[in-house]
Structure 1
Amino acid sequence: MDATEAPDAAPVTTLRAPPATARTATRHRPTAREGAVPAAPLDERDRGRLLAGTHHDPHAVLGAHPVPGGVAFTALRPHAQAVTVLTEGRAVRLRDTGDGLFSGVLPLAAVPAYELRVTYDGQDLTVEDPYRFLPALGEFDLHLIGEGRHERLWEALGAHPMTHQGVAGTRFTVWAPNALGVRVACDHTYWDGTAHPMRSLGSSGVWELFVPGVGEGTLYKFDIARRDGTRTLRADPMARATEVPPATASVVAASSSYAWGDTEWMAHRGDRPVTRAPFSVYEVHLASWRPGLTYRELAEQLTDYVRGAGFTHVEFLPVAEHPFGGSWGYQVTGFYAPTARLGTPDDFRHLVDTLHQAGIGVLLDWVPAHFPKDDWALAAFDAEHLYEPQDPRRAEHPDWGTLTFDYGRREVRNFLVANALYWCEEFHVDGLRVDAVASMLYLDYSRDEGRWAPNASGGRENLDAVAFLQEMNATVYRRCPGVVTIAEESTAWDGVTRPTHHVGHGGFGGLGFGLKWNMGWSHDTLEYIARDPVHRAYHHNELTFAMVYAYSENYVLPLSHDEVVHGKQSLVSKTPGDWWQRRANHRAYLGFMWAHPGKQLLFMGQEFAQGAEWSPEEGLHWGLLDPSYPARGDHEGVLRLVQDLNHRYRDTPALWEQDTVPAGFSWITPDAAGDNMVAFLRFAADGTPLLAVCNFSPVVRHGYRIGVPETVPAWVEALNTDAARYGGSNVRNPGRLAPEPEGAHGRPVSLRLTLPPLATVWLRPG
C-alpha cells in the first residue's frame, strides 16, 4: 500500500510501551492534506543488516534523508500497526514495508523538524525519532578514547541523560570494537533492541545512539552482534548505577547534583604527607558491619562509632557492584557503580561526606587485578576477548576462577585508570587500596611450569601491569591532591612505594604507591602471638624481623579481614591460654602494633575482641557489648584500649612523624628472647621520644632494668594495656620515674620498671 496522508486524529495517548520515547502530541493535529509517494525500496543488504542488528550506520538508512522529489522517511518500529510523520502541521502515514519497517517520501525542499506517531494495538504514541539526531559525542572525546588517554572516561561512555538538539533523552555509548552491530535494549522495549541500533563512530570502536524521551531510572543493556554469529546481552561496563543483585541490568543515572559539605576537609586533607601524619584505619565490610543498614543509616551510625573509637580513616571493602555477595566485593562487574544493595550513588556520596565532616578519611578497596566470567558482564564482551588478554595463559586467574585484564591494551588501561579517578573525583574518596598487586606483577603468579608465558625479555614480570600501575599512580597523584594509593603486595618487589621515575635494583621504575601493606609483619607477628609463651623464646625473630626491612617501603601494618576468616580465627581466639590470657595477649599485641613503625589497620570486630571469625552473613557480634551480656566488660575494656591507643597515637608525633625513616626508631633491646620482651624508642622530628616496652610473658617482672636516653630527666606511663579499665590486672608504674646512673643495653642510664604480664607499656618524658 502506498504511503498516504492520515486523516485528522484525536489527541494521542502516551504509553509506557516501546520505544519509551513517547510525548503527548495534542498540538500535532493535521491541518494539510498533501500526499506522499512510496520511497525507493531499501537495499536488501541494508535491510538485512538492520533487522539482524549488524548495521554499522543505521542513521544512513533510518530517519529522514533528501532524495529526488522530496525527503524520504524510514522508521524501524517492530510490532507497530502504523507509523505517521508529523511535520509542519501535517500528518502523513508511511507505507508498511514489512518486518517493522515503514517508509515514504514527502514533497519537501529540506529535512524538517518532525516527530513520529506510532500505533500499537490501536493506541497512538508520539515520539521523537532517534535517527534524526547528530552524534552526541564529540570528536575530541573520540580522539582521547582512541589514544587511551580520556581521564574522565565516565563522561564520554555509558548512559547520560541530556538535552541534545533541544530534545531531552539519553545518550548511550559503548566501546565494542569487534562487534558487527550494537543495539540498545531496555525495560521500556521489553528488552527488544531491534528498534534501537547504534552507529559505529569510526575507528574508535565506540557505538553511539541518542534516544529521546529515555531518562533517569531506565533499565538497559547492550545487545551485541558478534563476529562468530552469536548475540549477547551485556550490562554497560561504564554504568554508574545498577539494579540490586541478583538482577543485572544497568540503570540510567543522571549526573549527580549532590551538594557536598566537605569543602574544608577537601581543601586541607593534603596539607601533611601521609607518611608524616597519623594514619590509623578501621577496615569495614559495609554490608555486614550492622546488616540491613543503608548508606545513609551507616553515615550516622558508622561515623559516630569510628569517631568515638578515634580512628583517622575508614577503609571499605570494595563497594563497586558485584553480583555475588560472598565475594565480599572482590569480584566486580560494575566498576563505576556503587553497589545498589545499600542505596544510590548519591547515598554513598552522603556517607563519604558525613565521614569527612567528622574529620574521618575514607579509603576504598579497588580491584583492577581481575573480573568474573559472568556472561552478561565483561568477559568476552564483544568477541572472544576484549578486556582480557587473548593468550589464555595470561587471561585465566588460577586462584579465583576469574579473568585478568589486558594491561597492554590502551583502552583497557584507560578504563581502569579513569575508574581510579572516578572514585576519587566523583565520590571524594581519600585513598585507594589496590587489591592483589602481586598477582598483577608476576606472569607466573600461582601458575605451574608450562602454564605461563614469559615477557619479551624472557622474564616473569608482567611489564604491561607495571606500566599500568605506574600510569595509574602518577595520574591519581597529579589530579587528586591529598589522595593516597596503597598496595596490597605480598612479595619483595623492589620499589612499590618509590616514585615512578626512580629506578630500582630490578631495573624497573618505582610503582608510585604511597603506602604498602606489610604482610610479612602480619604473618610473622601473628605466628608469634599464637604460640604458647613457653615457646615464644625460640621464635623471637618473628617479633623483630620486620625492622630489618622496615624502611625499604612506606608500610601499613594490616590486621585485615584476610587474617580473621577461613579458619584463621579472630585475633583474640588465635592467642593461647584462658580467657583472661587471651584478652591480655590481644591487648599487648595491639599496644605493640600501634607503637611499631608503620601505619595501622584493624578489621572490624577486633576492636572489641569478638571471639568468632567474621561472617559476612551474620555481621559483627554487637551483643557482646550489650548491657545484658555478662562478659560485656571484657569486650568494653578492649574497646576502651583501642580508643585510647588511637587518641594517644594522634597526640604523640613520635609515633607517626618519622614513621618511614630510620631516625624515627631505635632499639633498646631486640634480643631479650628468654624474657619474651622487646623495648624500643620512637622519636618525633624534634627528638621527643616515646618508650615502648612489650612483655609477652604471663609473669610480672619486677625491677626490670631498661636502658634509656640520658637526656630525659623523668618518664611517666602514657599507656598500659594491663590497666584495670581495659580488663587487666592493673600492674602499673605510678608517678614520675627518674633514670638511675646505672648503664643498661648500651646506654649510660636506665629505668627500673615493673613489667605487667602479657602487656605493652608506653612511657613518655614527664
Structure 2
Amino acid sequence: MTPRPSSSGPDPEKTAAKKAAKSAKAVKKAGTKKAAVKKAVPREAAVEVAVSPCLDAGDRERLLAGTHHEPHAVLGAHRVPGGVAFRAFRPYALAVTVLSGKLRVELHNDGDGFFSGLVPLSEVPLHRLLVAYEGTVQETEDPYRFLPTLGDLDLHLIGEGRHEQLWQALGAHPTTHEGVAGTRFAVWAPNARGVRVAGGFNFWDGTGHPMRSLGSAGVWELFLPGVGAGELYKFEITRPDGSRTFRADPLARRTEVPPATSSVVHASDYTWGDGEWLARRADAPAHEAPLSAYEIHLPSWRPGLTYRQLAEQLPAYVADLGFTHVELMPVSEHPFGGSWGYQVTGFYAPTARLGDPDDFKYLVDRLHRAGIGVLMDWVPAHFPRDDWALAEFDGRPLYEHSDPLRAAHPDWGTLEFDFGRREVRNFLVANAVYWCEEFHIDGLRVDAVASMLYLDYSREPGQWTPNEHGGRENLDAVAFLQEMNATVYRRVPGVVTVAEESTAWDGVTRATHHMGPSGFGGLGFGLKWNMGWMHDSLEYMSREPVHRKYHHGDMTFSMVYAYSENYVLPISHDEVVHGKKSLVSKMPGDWWQQRANERAYLGFMWAHPGKQLLFMGQEFAQGAEWSEAHGPDWWLLDPEYGASADHRGVRDLVRDLNTVYRATPALWRRDTHPSGFAWVVGDAAEDDVLAFLRLDTDGTPLLAVSNFAPVIRPDYRLGVPDDVPAWHEVLNTDAARYGGGDVGNPDPVKPEPQGWHGRPASVRLTLPPLATVWLRPA
C-alpha cells in the first residue's frame, strides 16, 4: 500500500513520478542508437551494429500464452550487438526504469506489458527495476537476471528418481540467492507447455512470472526476489492442449486451512529439544522392545485444540496411561475432514486445521520429551481426484498410472500412484524420509498395503492385466515398498515401518535382500498389523459365553502363524466405526459382563505375542462408536456422573497393563521368536480357558490365564515349570478397582510336585469369571 503524504513532508507518489519523468527525459534525449553513457563504452563497441531490443513476435506470443520454456533467455539483461538489451514483462505497468548505480534508463513501452531498451554498455550490470503502476511506484529486483537455483546434481538425481531429499529441491523455499532475499520455486511438470507462479504477491495473475524449464528432468524453476514466508501461491500450468489449470504445489510444506486450497511459502525456525530421545531411539529394534501404541485422531481427540494446545495435554495423558507410543491417524493435508486424513492432497504438509508445521514439530517434540514415541499413518496407496491437486497434474496422467484401469481405485473413487514411474516413486520415498527427518517421526504405519500389492485388488476379471510373469502381483508396488523401507531404515536409524497388510503376502517383515519361497525378496517392513488375530479374536469375544467353546480355535489359531511375521495386535479406529460398535459394545451380556469381557480381552491381548495398539476411547470403555465430529465421550470420566467409576476402572486397568508390560521383558523381548511362548493349555474349550507362558531370554516366565466363561473356577490346576518356588498374581482384570468382583489369588501360589499338562509341577488357581490373570515368580 502506498503511504499517504504528510503535511510536513514530500508526497512519495509525486517524488517517484518526478524521478520517473526525469529518467524518461534522459532516455528520450539519449535515444536507443546513441551512446547515453559514452564513458562506459569501449572503442571496439562502436563498430557493432545496434539491434532492436524488442522481443520478436514469437517470444511475445509464447510469453503471453504462458508457453515459453526459457523466459530468462529473452527477459532481463543480455549482451547484444550495440550494448546491453534490457527487457521486462510487467503487465499493467505504466513505465519501467532500469536502475544500476548512477544509471537510470526508462525502457520503451512495447505494448502488452513488454518494455525494452538498448544501453551501450560493454558488460551486463547488476540492476534493479523501478516499475510505475497507476497510483504507485515499486523498486524491485529483476527476477530474470538470476542464474538457476537448482544445480546439475539436483536435476540428475530428480531425473534418475533418486533424490532422497526431494523436498529440498522442489517446492517453495525462502532463501538468499546471489545476495538477494526471496523465494525459489520449483515444480516437476514434464508435460506442461509452460508454468507460471501466481500468488498474493502478483494478485494471482502469473502472467508476468513465467518459469523456466531446466531440461529433460521436467523441472520448472523461478527465483522471485522479495517473496517471503507466509505468501500464498499456486502454479499456473499450461496443458498440452493449451488450456490452463491452477495447481497447489505437490511439495508444499504448508497449506491454507481447508477448504481453501492454496500453498503457503514456509520457512521453519523451530529449535528441537528431543536430542536425548533421538540418541537412544535406536538402542533396540522395535520388535525386541516394548511397544504399546495409543491410536489418535488429532482433530477429534479434544475437538478444537491446536497442535500446541494438544502438546499441553496429550503427552501427560498418554504418559499417565503408560503407552510407549502414540499412532497418529494421517496428519498430511487433506481437503475433506470426513476422510480422517486418508485422502491426501498435501503429502508434505501437516494439516493446517491445527496449526503450522512448526506447531506440529512442537507437539512431536513434547511427546518425545515425555518419553513417548510418535508413529504416523502414511498413505501412499492413492490420492483424490481434486482438480487443483495431483490428478492429471500437468494435463496428462503424471502421478497416476496412464492406464485408466490401473489408475482408478475401484473402492474409494480415488487414483492410484504409478509406482513404475521413477519420479513418482521418488516423490513417495522422499516423502517417507521427509516425515522422519524433518518432523522426527519415529515410525510410519503404511495404509492399505494390500491394495497396492495386487493388480486384481477389488477388480473383476477383465478389469486388470496380469504382470509380465502372468501373475496378479503388482511388481512395481513391490519394488517401491522395498525401496521405501530400505531407504528409510538406512537414513533414519531407530525408526520403524508398519504395514497394514490384510492378506497372507509372504515376507512383509522380511529383509528386502532375503528371498522367500514365492521368489520375491521381503518387503522390508519392521512390523505388520495382525488382521487375522484381530478378526478372529473379536469374533470369539462377540459370542455369548455359552457358545464360545465351539469357537475356541478362534483364540488359538493365531499361534499357528504368530512367528511368520513381526506382528502388531491392532484394535484400531476401523473396528469401532460404521456399525461395528465400540469395543465394549461388541461384548455380550449386561453392562457388568460387557466391561468384564473387555477387561479380560485386553489382559489376553497384552499378554499375547505381538505389540499392542488401542484406539482412543476404548481405554475407558466408551459405549458409542467413534465419530470424528465429537471425538471420545470424555464426560464418562467426569466424577459427577454416577457411571463414571465403571469407565475409570477400565482406564485404570489399561494403565496397569502398560505398567506391568513395560516392566516385564518376557512380554516383549521375544515377541518374534517361538522360544518366547509356550502353551500351558490351549485346548480347554469346554472350560473357555486359555493359559500360556511368556519367556524372557533368560527363561524368566510370566503365566497368563484367561477364563472367558462367566463362572468362577476354583482350584483350577495348571502345569508349570518346577524351578519357580512360588507365583505371585501381578494383574487381575477382575480386581475391584477395575470394576470387577475382586475374585483372585491374593496370596503367593506355591507349585505342587504333581505333574500336569506335560509339565513336572502344577499350581491350583482361582480363576475369576470373565477375567485374565497374570502371575510372575514371587
Q: 1:93 aligns with which of 100, 106, 122?
A: 106
2:24 touches 2:105 (CA, 8 Å); kept in 1? Answer: no
Q: Give the TM-score normalised by structure 1.
A: 0.96
Cα offsets for 1:723-745 (capped at 9, x unmatched): 00000000011211111222221
Look up the match of 1:149: 162
CA distance in 1, matches of 2:486, 2:248: 30
Local SS of the residue matching 1:209: strand
Aligned to 1:348: 360
The secondary structure found in structure 2 opposite 1:470 is: helix
Indicate how the Cα distance of structure 1 residues 669 and 29 shifts in structure 2: closer, same or farther if over 3 A, else same: farther
Aligned partners of 2:172 and 2:404: how far apart in 1? Answer: 32
CA RMSD of aligned residues (A): 1.7
Alignment correspondent of 1:753: 765
CA displacement at 1:27 relative to structure 2: 13
| 2:425 counterpart of 1:397 | no
Q: Which residue of 1 aligns with 2:470?
A: 458
Q: Aligned to 1:504, which of 508, 516, 523?
A: 516
Per-residue deviation, residues 421-454 of structure 1 (Å, max 9, x unmatched): 0000000010000000000000000111110111
Instruction: Identify the residue that residue 61 of structure 1 maps to in structure 2.
Output: 74
Q: Could you tell me how far apart the structure 2 residues matched to 1:460 and 1:585 are?
A: 41
1:30/1:89 contact within 8 Å kept: no
Indicate how the Cα distance of structure 1 residues 29 and 360 shifts in structure 2: closer, same or farther if over 3 A, else same: farther
**What corresponds to 1:562 in structure 2?**
574
Aligned twin of 2:430: 418
Deviation at 1:13, TM superposition (A): 6.2
Aligned to 1:381: 393
State whether structure 2 residue 32 is matched by structure 1 residue 37.
yes
Alpha-carbon offset, residue 33 of structure 1? 3.4
Contact 1:703 1:754 (C-alpha < 8 Å) held by counterparts = yes
| Residue of structure 2 equivalent to 1:246 | 259
Q: Which amino acid in the other structure matches residue 698 of structure 1?
A: P
Residue 629 of structure 1: CA displacement? 1.1
Q: 1:735 aligns with which of 734, 741, 747?
A: 747
Distance 1:290 1:27, change over 3 A: farther
Contact 2:180 2:225 in 1 (8 A): yes
Which one of the candidate residues 510, 514, 523 is aligned to 2:535?
Answer: 523
- Aligned equivalents of 1:223, 1:641: Cα separation in 2: 56
Select the residue among 149, 169, 175 that pairs with 2:188. Answer: 175
- Residues 401 and 657 of structure 1: is their aligned pair in 2 closer, same or farther, counting only changes over 3 Å? same
User: Paired residue for 1:233?
Assistant: 246
8 Å Cα contact 1:366-1:435 kept in structure 2: yes
Residues 29 and 159 of structure 1: CA distance in aligned 2, closer, same or farther (over 3 Å): farther
1:635 aligns with 2:647: yes
Which one of 76, 83, 90 corresponds to residue 89 of structure 2?
76
SS of residue matched to 1:415: helix
Q: Distance in 2 between matches of 1:278 and 1:456?
A: 42
- Stretch of structure 1 that moved more, 257-266 or 481-490: 257-266
Code of the residue aligned with 2:167 in structure 1: it is W
The SS at the match of 1:33 is: helix
Per the TM alignment, residue 276 of structure 1 is displaced from its structure 2 partner at its CA by 1.1
Q: For 1:417, give the aligned amino acid.
A: V
- Evaluate the alpha carbon distance shift between residue 206 and residue 455 of structure 1 in structure 2; reply closer, same or farther with a 3 A threshold: same
Contact 2:20–2:106 (CA<8 Å) still a contact in 1?
no
1:12-31 to structure 2, matched below 5 A, reads none
After superposition, the C-alpha distances for 1:276-298 in whole angstroms (9 at most, x for unaligned) are: 11100000000000001111111
Give the SS at the match of 1:183.
strand
Q: Which of 92, 100, 120 pairs up with 1:107?
A: 120
Q: Deviations over 1:319-368 (max 9, x none)?
A: 01001010000000000001111111111111111111111000010000
Q: For residue 25 of structure 1, report the CA deviation from its aligned partner.
A: 13
| Amino-acid identity (%) | 72
Q: Please give the residue correspondences for 1:329-344 in structure 2 after superposition, counting only pairs within 5 Å.
A: 329-344=341-356
Distance 1:27 1:389 in 2: 54
Partner of 1:601: 613
Partners of 2:665 and 2:149 lie apart in 1 by 54
Q: Deviation of residue 257 (structure 1)? A: 2.4
Match of 2:629 among 617, 621, 626: 617
Structure 1 residues 25 and 273: CA distance shift in structure 2, 3 A: farther
Are 1:308 and 2:313 counterparts? no
Match of 1:219 among 232, 252, 257: 232
- Cα distance in 1 between the residues matched to 2:474 and 2:643: 52
Q: For 1:202, what is the secondary structure of its paired residue?
A: coil
Q: Is the Cα–Cα contact under 8 Å of residues 28 and 90 in structure 1 kept in the other structure?
A: no
Structure 1 counterpart of 2:481, one-letter code: L
8 Å Cα contact 1:199/1:209 also seen in 2: yes
Distance between the aligned counterparts of 1:398 and 1:229, measured in 2?
A: 31
Shift of residue 112 of structure 1?
1.0
| Number of aligned residue pairs | 748
* Whole-angstrom distance in 1 between the partners of 2:622 and 2:397: 45
Native 8 Å contact 1:24 1:126 kept in 2: no
Aligned-partner Cα distance in 1 for 2:17–2:505: 64
Name the counterpart of 1:132.
145
Going from structure 1 to structure 2, the CA distance change for 1:298 and 1:146 (only over 3 Å counts) comes to same
Partner letter of residue 366 of structure 1?
Answer: W
Give, as a single letter, the amino acid of the residue that structure 2 aligns with 1:85.
Answer: V
Distance in 1 between residues matched to 2:348 and 2:642, nearest whole Å: 46
Q: State the shift of 1:109 in Å.
A: 1.7
Compared with structure 1, are the counterparts of its residues 29 and 137 closer, same or farther at alpha carbon in structure 2 (3 Å cutoff)?
farther
| Aligned-residue offset at 1:76 | 0.8
Match of residue 259 from structure 1: 271
Residue 28 of structure 1 deviates from its aligned partner by 13
1:237-258 Cα deviation digits (max 9, x unpaired): 000000000000000011x221
1:36, 1:106 within 8 Å by CA — same for their partners in 2? no
1:703 aligns with 2:715: yes
**How big is the shift at 1:61?**
1.1
Q: What one-letter code is carried by the residue in structure 1 that aligns with 2:357?
A: P
**Which residue of structure 2 aligns with residue 588 of structure 1?**
600
Q: Is the 8 A contact 1:12 1:126 kept in 2?
A: no
- Residue in 2 that maps onto 1:208: 221
Residue 380 of structure 2 corresponds to 368
How far, CA to CA, are the matches of 1:309 and 1:300 in structure 2?
16
Question: Which segments of 5 or more consecutive residues in structure 1 lack a partner in the other structure?
Answer: 1-9, 15-22
Deviation (angstroms), 1:82: 1.4
Does the 8 Å CA contact 1:24/1:125 hold for their aligned counterparts? no
Cα distance in 1, alignment partners of residues 421 and 22 from structure 2: 54
Aligned to 1:467: 479
Question: Per-residue displacement from partner, 1:26-78 (whole Å, max 9, x unpaired)?
Answer: 99996993524283442211111000000000111111111222211111111
For residues 517-546 of structure 1, give each alpha carbon's deviation from its aligned partner in whole angstroms, at most 9, with x where no partner exists.
000100000011000101111111111110
The AA in structure 2 aligned to 1:65 is: H
Q: State how far apart, in whole Å, the 2-side matches of 1:123 and 1:372 are.
A: 43
Secondary structure class of the residue paired with 1:239 = coil
Unaligned runs of 5+ in 2: 1-9, 34-51
Match of 1:678 in 2: 690
Residue in 2 aligned with 1:4?
none
For 1:534 and 1:347, the matched residues in 2 are separated by 52
Going from structure 1 to structure 2, the CA distance change for 1:736 and 1:137 (only over 3 Å counts) comes to same
2:456, 2:472 within 8 Å by CA — same for their partners in 1?
yes
- Displacement, 1:384? 2.0
Residues 154 and 608 (structure 1), Cα distance of their counterparts in 2 relative to 1, 3 Å cut: same
- Give the direction of change, closer, same or farther, for the CA distance of 1:697–1:116 in structure 2 (3 Å limit): same
Q: Which amino acid aligns with 1:582?
A: Q
Match of 2:774, SS? strand
Q: Distance in 2 between matches of 1:196 and 1:519?
A: 52
Q: CA separation in 1, counterparts of 2:714 and 2:68? A: 86
Contact 1:739 1:751 in 2 (8 A): yes
**Do structure 1's residue 667 and structure 2's residue 679 form an aligned pair?**
yes
Answer yes or no: is the 8 Å Cα contact 1:36–1:107 preserved in 2: no
User: Aligned partners of 1:535 and 1:433: how far apart in 2?
Assistant: 36
For 2:204 and 2:249, locate their aligned partners in 1 and report how far apart those are by CA, in whole Å: 14
